């Protein structure tokens, strides 16, 4: 018979002992009498290297510690050689069926090679370097599938399935059935880990679990905690034998259990209020704490009661046997009236190991008389009662361990001749914690009389109903103003729609009305969007209509640049859109030639404004310099984004293209406030013979003045279209009244008519303004606060947050962090990686200017369009600048290899192979390009996004795979048009908001509009952070709707947080 403890952690997991090393795990396994130990944390690269160094193969799939690392100890017999098996725990935090799920999974693997393979696969998904138990924004169903695809022999076990915060059946973030969690992959689940707070009889009460093997492990965070729970195996000593026992029960002889009452989450309660109550009592209070009025932490027993379909005393026929034990130091402490961690108890513990043998032998098999001789009568009697199950138990609750009592003080006095003051004190403390003291009893009685719990519960439910009704009403019907905008048949209609007013919905509803009610042909409708993402969303919604696929093909939807590019391409125009790198190169040459005192970025902005006809004589770029720049661009056979617009405008003005004009008979324009003069002219020439022009936007969200946009475009339209019908949408369906009031006060500092915006949602939290001690402190605060908003990433966080006090648990994708410039994100990314928080970064970043990145994009552009010799030429120039003959050979060879795959394989796979062929694995820029590629399945769509995508369209993951659930990081410009339940405005300090470039101050009104855009992205929670001197805009927020806070000064999180050997844990 072998004893196995398969779920443990290394020193690379959060809050573990520094002694969680192979040497000490081997030592304590010998002390405990454990034969098979899980390695834990196989995903962590440093831990795997340590295992490779210190372990050697034993039987198939099992390892032993090398002799040179073995620690000699009198209490750990040297003739016992524990086996190690590769194991690890994965924390999955994701959103499924509109609920945040936090589930832990135990994985067993047949060896180090397989561990390397699976770790490499998981590294594409999330950060596996910061924590031995990595957090992945990955559905458990998908994690199981990935494991089986990568390591078919692997075993997947849902971990500690009843733990409230982090488990499959957890009260706060779990599922009600296995099928709901794993869907079609459910047949590949064969075993369940019961966890410390439940035992087999509790699990027998759920008939749906009858077919599963029940296993138990310690989840130890220090070597001394090994064996708190364990499994009994009668198997051939091999991974195959172990895997079969867990999967089929053949060779699984039973389990060694904690008394479930000792677990930290057995009963319901509230640790801060010293309240420990049964499930029935909790139900009587409406699951609300009668002391403080906040939600109770629901324990395992309560959750079992909710799902059980059998009575409490049900015994499952044919179930594996189990025995309930208590760790020997606790037995000694309980029988002597001392703390289990006291020096005297530990000395006696070591003495018993030396005299009697391993701990499990003492607890299970050694005759009581022998124990009495070695350890005295009280300990011997305690072990006898333990074996008989004669144990008095005080249940654990809300993260507080339960206790067991083996002997009364008088019995100890009779057996030992002395009464322990410490034990009496401990008993009184536990009585208080269990709610048995008079004070707590009075509170319970008062609560019953007043019905306080039910009132609180009622209030919370009413708020949810109000919010739900507002959202449902908006979802299923249009407001009168929206309906007016949808059905208007005027020649020109302008809709001024404030943030959250249902702008996108109104626009799509109008298109639907044109198609369905008025029977307009899809080929006569064009919708211009600001971003590719908006165009895709619109197309996706329209394709759900009857005949949607045909509509999607015939109806023109896209950005200005995308539509112009298609028009020119369809006309056979020979052009190629220059990338940012080429534009900067030509700008640099022009600046040097004419000795201009401008940065490259400023020069390009000025050129754009000149082409839009805005700067004129005021431009610091001379006519000669502008002409020289344009000549070089034309020599390269390239156009910039402004040229696309200008060429298209010229085409419509100079030529008779009546057929082309048909698609613009019904022209709709989104984000109208951000168009520049050339785009405005385009709308007019496109629709000059049209039937209807419909524009929608918000002057207060005009934030692209540096590109020539003008918030006065609505006023210009009034002059150009005297018959214009203007409609205003002033109801905000997105944000709470507090957020709306704060944003309205800020934007009212700009010139213009009085603003009106009404919040349709119920009252929510105040806007939080947080002052941090420095930039690092600000980034750490945000990472920690995100952790808090999702309810904690692990049990350490839950306990630091005092379990369940976050009013509404968020998923990662509910949260966005917005900032003024891309550079601000670098520090933030570091802190999020350290916390293990998955994220996606949106925006056009500097990696796109890297020569290898540019050359790569040109290469694949050439493959998609072999007649594009300009792209071929640039690819050669960038990748092989000085090797003309070699360049041609290499290019032809690679083109032959990838030409067959470019339209067939996923972008990510193509780039992975390309990077390997080009030996660019160490390039940070190429790594970022690869991370961006995972969001675009086809190379064609990827290049389209890079070429024509707006600030919000170009995205990359924080890892090599798109996480299903991730925090969004983006600039304030990139966030326009989006919304999130919780938003951080990061770095809102002087110099950044409003932005000051050198000595030049930004346009104050436009910067205020940008701040307003950021504020109004938030639906429920808005947190504004700053360090140093705060932004002037913070002083414009009304105090009655804000809470001022100071972030704690914290050190950066250490890679390994360690506890002492005997520190308590939280499983």
Output the CA torsion 139→145→150→153 (10° steps): 120
- Return the axis-axis angle of helices 825-835 and 775-789, rounded to nearest 10°: 40
Q: What's the pLDDT score for residue 138? A: 87
Contacts of 897 (CB under 8 A, 6+ apart): 917
In this predicted structure, the answer to whether residue 83 has a pLDDT above a threshold of 80 is yes
Which of 639, 645, 727, 643 lies closest to 686, judged by CA?
645
Q: What's the pLDDT score for residue 265? A: 84
- Return the axis-axis angle of helices 939-948 and 532-542, rounded to nearest 10°: 130
Average of per-residue pLDDT across 661-680:
92
Local confidence band at 560 (pLDDT 50, 70, 90 cut-offs): very high
Q: Is 251 helix (H, G, I), strand (E, B) or coil?
A: coil
Average of per-residue pLDDT across 883-904:
82
Q: Tally Cβ neighbours within 10 Å of residue 762.
A: 16
Q: What is the pLDDT of residues 293-318, one digit of tens each?
A: 888 888 889 999 999 999 988 999 99
Average of per-residue pLDDT across 680-709:
90
Q: What's the pLDDT score for residue 482? A: 95
Q: What is the pLDDT of residues 90-127, one digit of tens each?
A: 999 888 888 889 999 999 999 999 999 999 888 878 77
DSSP 8-state secondary structure symbol assigned to residue 669: E
Backbone angles phi, psi at 257, to 5 degrees: -115, 150
Furthest-apart CA atoms within the chain: distance in Å: 112
Percent of the chain with pLDDT over 90: 51
**Which CB contacts under 8 angstroms, 24+ apart, belong to 999-1006?**
1003/705, 1005/750, 1005/751, 1006/702, 1006/703, 1006/705
Query: Between residues 904 and 55, which one has the greater pLDDT?
Result: 55
Q: What is the pLDDT of residues 373-388, one digit of tens each?
A: 999 999 999 999 999 9
Q: Is the dihedral of CA 371, 377, 380, 384 positive or negative?
A: positive
Q: How many helices (H) and strands (E) does the chain have?
A: 41, 37
Q: Is 255:216 a contact under the CB 8 Å cutoff?
A: yes
Local confidence band at 948 (pLDDT 50, 70, 90 cut-offs): confident
- Helix (H), strand (E) at residue 862: helix 851-864
Please report which residue ranges of 748-841 form alpha helices under DSSP H.
775-789, 795-800, 825-835
Query: Between residues 477 and 451, which one has the greater pLDDT?
Result: 477
In this predicted structure, the answer to whether residue 332 has a pLDDT above a threshold of 50 is yes
Q: What is the pLDDT of residues 847-884, one digit of tens each?
A: 888 888 988 988 998 888 888 777 888 888 888 876 66
Which of 17, 2, 981 lies closest to 500, judged by CA?
981
Which of 61, 64, 148, 63 lies closest to 111, judged by CA?
61
Contacts of 708 (CB under 8 A, 6+ apart): 608, 609, 612, 614, 676, 677, 678
Q: What's the pLDDT score for residue 410? A: 78
In this predicted structure, the answer to whether residue 592 has a pLDDT above a threshold of 80 is yes
Bridge-based pairing of strands 63-65 and 230-233 is unpaired
Q: What's the pLDDT score for residue 665? A: 94
Q: What is the pLDDT of residues 19-49, one digit of tens each?
A: 999 999 999 999 999 999 999 999 999 999 9
Residue bearing tokens 């009495």: 372
Q: Is 588 helix (H, G, I), strand (E, B) or coil?
A: helix
Q: How far is CA 960 from the centre of its chain?
A: 14
Q: What's the pLDDT score for residue 798? A: 54
Which of 94, 93, 130, 107 lies closest to 42, judged by CA?
107
In this predicted structure, the answer to whether residue 690 has a pLDDT above a threshold of 80 is yes
User: Alpha carbon of 62 to those of 81, 180, 674: distances in Å?
Assistant: 12, 34, 64
In this predicted structure, the answer to whether residue 182 has a pLDDT above a threshold of 90 is yes
- Helix (H), strand (E) at residue 911: helix 907-917
């Amino acid at each position: 018979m072998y004893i196995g403890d398969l779920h443990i952690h290394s020193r690379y997991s959060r809050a573990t002992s520094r002694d969680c090393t192979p040497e000490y795990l081997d030592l304590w396994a010998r002390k405990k009498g454990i034969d098979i130990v899980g390695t834990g944390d196989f995903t962590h690269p440093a831990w795997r290297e340590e295992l490779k160094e210190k372990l050697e193969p034993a039987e198939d799939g099992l390892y032993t510690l090398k002799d040179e690392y073995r620690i000699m100890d009198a209490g750990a017999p040297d003739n016992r050689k524990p086996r190690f098996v590769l194991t690890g725990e994965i924390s999955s935090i994701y959103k499924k069926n509109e609920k945040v799920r936090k589930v832990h999974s135990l994985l067993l693997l047949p060896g180090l090679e397989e561990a390397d393979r699976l770790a490499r696969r998981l590294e594409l998904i999330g950060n596996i370097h910061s924590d031995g138990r990595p957090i992945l924004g990955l559905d458990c169903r998908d994690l199981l599938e990935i494991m089986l695809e990568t390591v078919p022999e692997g075993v997947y076990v849902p971990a500690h399935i009843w733990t409230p915060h982090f488990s499959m059946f957890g009260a706060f973030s779990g599922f009600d059935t296995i099928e709901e969690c794993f869907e079609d992959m459910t047949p590949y689940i064969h075993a369940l880990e019961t966890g410390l707070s439940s035992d087999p009889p509790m699990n027998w009460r759920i008939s749906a679990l009858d077919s599963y093997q029940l296993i138990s492990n310690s989840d130890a965070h220090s070597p001394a905690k090994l064996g708190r729970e364990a499994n009994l195996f009668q198997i051939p000593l091999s991974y195959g034998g172990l895997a079969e026992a867990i999967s089929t029960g053949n060779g699984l002889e039973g389990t060694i259990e904690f008394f479930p009452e000792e677990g930290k989450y057995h009963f319901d309660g509230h640790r801060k209020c010293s309240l420990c109550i049964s499930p029935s009592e909790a139900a009587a209070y409406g699951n609300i704490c009668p002391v403080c009025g906040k939600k109770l932490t629901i324990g395992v027993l309560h959750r079992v009661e909710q799902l059980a379909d059998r009575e409490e005393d049900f015994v499952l026929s044919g179930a594996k046997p189990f025995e309930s034990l208590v760790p020997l130091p606790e037995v000694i402490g309980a029988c002597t009236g001392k703390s289990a961690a006291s020096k005297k108890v530990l000395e006696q513990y070591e003495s018993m190991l030396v005299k009697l043998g391993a701990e499990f032998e003492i607890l299970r098999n050694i005759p009581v008389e022998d124990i009495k001789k070695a350890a005295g009568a009280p300990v011997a009697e305690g072990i006898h009662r333990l074996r008989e199950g004669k144990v008095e138990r005080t249940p654990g609750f809300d993260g507080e361990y339960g206790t067991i009592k083996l002997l009364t003080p008088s019995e100890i006095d009779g057996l030992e001749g002395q009464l322990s003051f410490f034990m009496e004190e401990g008993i009184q403390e536990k009585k208080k914690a269990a709610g048995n003291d008079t004070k707590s009893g009075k509170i319970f009685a008062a609560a019953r009389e007043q019905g306080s719990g039910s009132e609180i519960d009622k209030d919370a439910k009413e708020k949810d109903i109000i919010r739900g009704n507002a959202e449902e009403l908006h979802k299923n019907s249009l407001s009168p103003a929206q309906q007016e905008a949808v059905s208007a048949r005027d020649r020109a209609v302008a809709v001024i729609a404030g943030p959250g007013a249902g702008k996108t919905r109104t626009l799509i509803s109008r298109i639907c009305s044109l198609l369905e009610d008025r029977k307009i042909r899809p080929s006569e409708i064009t919708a211009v969007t600001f971003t590719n993402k908006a165009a895709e969303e619109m197309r996706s919604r329209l394709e759900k209509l009857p005949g949607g696929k045909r509509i999607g093909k015939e109806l023109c939807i896209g950005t200005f640049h995308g539509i112009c590019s298609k028009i020119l391409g369809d006309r056979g125009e020979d052009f190629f859109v220059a990338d940012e790198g080429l534009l900067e190169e030509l700008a640099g040459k022009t600046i040097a030639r004419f000795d201009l005192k401008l940065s490259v970025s400023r020069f390009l902005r000025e050129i754009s404004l000149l082409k839009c006809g805005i700067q004129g004589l005021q431009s610091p770029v001379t006519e000669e310099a502008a002409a020289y720049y344009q000549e070089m661009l034309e020599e390269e056979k390239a156009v910039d984004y402004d040229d696309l617009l200008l060429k298209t405008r010229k085409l419509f003005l100079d030529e008779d293209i009546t057929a082309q004009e048909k698609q613009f008979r019904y022209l709709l324009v989104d984000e109208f406030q951000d168009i520049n003069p050339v785009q405005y002219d385009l709308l007019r020439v496109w629709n000059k013979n049209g039937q209807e022009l419909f524009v929608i936007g918000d002057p207060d969200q005009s934030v692209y003045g540096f590109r020539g946009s003008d918030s006065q475009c609505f006023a210009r339209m009034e002059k150009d279209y005297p018959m214009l019908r203007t409609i205003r949408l002033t109801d905000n369906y997105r944000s709470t009244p507090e957020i709306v009031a704060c944003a309205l006060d800020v934007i009212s500092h700009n010139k213009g008519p009085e603003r009106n915006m009404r919040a349709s949602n119920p009252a929510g939290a105040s806007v939080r303004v947080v002052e941090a001690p420095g930039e690092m402190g600000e980034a750490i605060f945000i990472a920690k606060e995100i952790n808090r908003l999702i309810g904690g990433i692990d049990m350490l966080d839950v306990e630091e947050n005092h379990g369940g006090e976050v009013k509404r648990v968020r998923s990662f994708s509910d949260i966005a962090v917005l900032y003024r410039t891309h550079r601000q994100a670098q520090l933030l990314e570091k802190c999020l990686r350290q916390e293990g928080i998955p994220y996606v970064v949106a925006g056009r970043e500097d990696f796109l200017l890297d020569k290898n990145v540019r050359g790569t994009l040109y290469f694949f552009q050439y493959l998609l369009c072999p007649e594009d010799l300009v792209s071929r030429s640039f690819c050669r120039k960038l990748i092989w600048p000085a090797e003309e003959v070699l360049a041609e050979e290499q290019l032809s060879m690679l083109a032959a290899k990838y030409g067959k795959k470019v339209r067939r394989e996923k972008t990510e796979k193509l780039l992975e192979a390309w990077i390997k062929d080009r030996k660019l694995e160490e390039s940070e820029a190429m790594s970022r390009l690869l991370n961006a590629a995972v969001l675009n399945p086809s190379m064609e769509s990827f290049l389209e996004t890079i070429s024509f995508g707006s600030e919000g369209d170009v995205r990359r993951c924080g890892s090599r795979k798109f996480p299903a659930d991730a925090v969004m990081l983006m600039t304030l410009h990139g966030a326009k048009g989006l919304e999130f339940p919780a938003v951080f405005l990061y770095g809102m300090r002087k110099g950044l908001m409003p932005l000051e470039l050198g000595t030049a101050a930004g346009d104050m009104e436009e910067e205020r509009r940008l701040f307003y855009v950021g504020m109004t992205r938030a639906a429920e929670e808005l947190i504004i952070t700053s360090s140093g001197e705060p932004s002037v805009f913070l002083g414009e927020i009304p105090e009655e709707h804000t809470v001022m806070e100071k972030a704690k000064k914290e050190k950066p999180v250490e890679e390994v947080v360690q506890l002492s050997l005997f520190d308590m844990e939280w499983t």
